Amino acid sequence: MISAGQVLGLGFPRAVEALRAALAGGLDPEAEPARSRVGLGGGEVLVMPSGDERIAGIKLVGIAPGNPARGLPRIHGTYVLFDAPTLVPRAILDGAALTALRTPAVSALGVDLVAPPQARKLVVFGKGPQAYGHVEAIKAVRPIDSVRLIGRDEDGRAAVAAADIVACCTTAREPLFDGRLLKDDAVVVAVGSHEPDAREVDTETVRRCGALVESRASAVREAGDLILAGVTEDELVTFADLVRGTTPARPRLIKTVGMGWEDLVIADAVVNNL
């Protein structure tokens, strides 16, 4: 088992560059198999497969909403990396650590693609592992010198109005702030929801900013922030579009739901880094 420390030891700069290189090399997120969910025990298990001609992998993630009250993390998981031609297992990785690394790394790649070079003021909704991970990941791509973390019962209106980057890393099912507060060049990252009826940002934010997504298919299937705002596939820009330079568009809302190809790319980078 590759431990959490070994997974996180890859670091955000190398994780971001691994994702960028995979997309630049032709990886097609639109061809990815859909994530599946199975209700079990005190929550649900997510099954996330991905693979190419060289490697394959699958992540099993258990999400138990009642765990924090028990003093346990909400998310646990395991990742298995295979040799694709033979399907012989190559490595087993700590799945929760892999998620803690790859989710902020994907966001940081998005920030690097669309945020102003001198973006310095970062506001983060949430105070869990993903919130702190996003602080470190975004610091890896922008010269952040001001960070404000906003908890569940805090008033973040003034902070949002002054922010260059707003990252939403919560389990909220309703918008966290009024999109009219955002500066004209502010970038918003929303990672907390992957259900069609839940969202962290309002319709105003979506319409003002446009949307950068991992894939159009996954976004219209799972991204409640966009679905509830009435966004259609042809309005979306993807990471691949920007990495490959196939569009001049630069949306300011980075909406991700998490995909298997991201886990595969990062897991491969972790194994090669050991």
Q: What is the pLDDT of residues 257-267, one digit of tens each?
A: 999 999 999 99
The CATH architecture that domain 103-259 belongs to is 3-Layer(aba) Sandwich (3.40)
Asked whether this chain's domains 4-98+261-273 and 103-259 adopt the same fold, the reply is: no
Rounded CA gap, 117 and 261, in Å? 27
91 membership: H or E segment, kind and range: strand 89-94
Q: Is the Cβ–Cβ distance between 238 and 29 less than 8 Å? A: yes
Q: Which long-range contacts (CB under 8 A, 24 or more apart) does 72-80 make?
A: 73/129, 74/128, 74/171, 75/99, 79/263, 79/267
Q: Calculate what percentage of the chain has a pLDDT beyond 70.
A: 100
The CA-atom distances, in angstroms, between 225 and each of 19, 105, 196 are 24, 20, 8
3-state class (DSSP) for residue 95: helix
Where do the domains of the chain lie?
Answer: 4-98+261-273, 103-259
Residues 6 or more apart whose CB falls under 8 angstroms from that of 272 comprise none
pLDDT digits (tens, 9 = 90+) for 30-59: 999 999 999 999 999 999 999 999 999 999
Q: Looking at the domain covering 4-98+261-273, what would its CATH class be?
A: alpha beta
pLDDT at 126 > cutoff 90? yes
According to the model, what pLDDT value does residue 158 have?
Answer: 96
In the predicted model, what is the mean pLDDT of residues 247-255?
96
Dihedral sign of CA atoms 85, 89, 93, 99 in order? positive
Mean pLDDT taken over the chain: 96
The two tokens of residue 106 are: 């994907």
Task: State mean pLDDT over 198-214.
Answer: 97
- Spatial distance between the Cα atoms of 197 and 78, rounded to a whole number of angstroms: 27
pLDDT value for 75: 87
Nearest to 239 by CA among 7, 28, 8: 28
Q: 193: pLDDT confidence band, cut at 50, 70 and 90?
A: confident
Query: What is the pLDDT at residue 100?
Result: 95
Q: How many CA atoms lie within 13 A of 177 on its CB side?
A: 29
pLDDT in tens, 159-170: 999 999 999 999
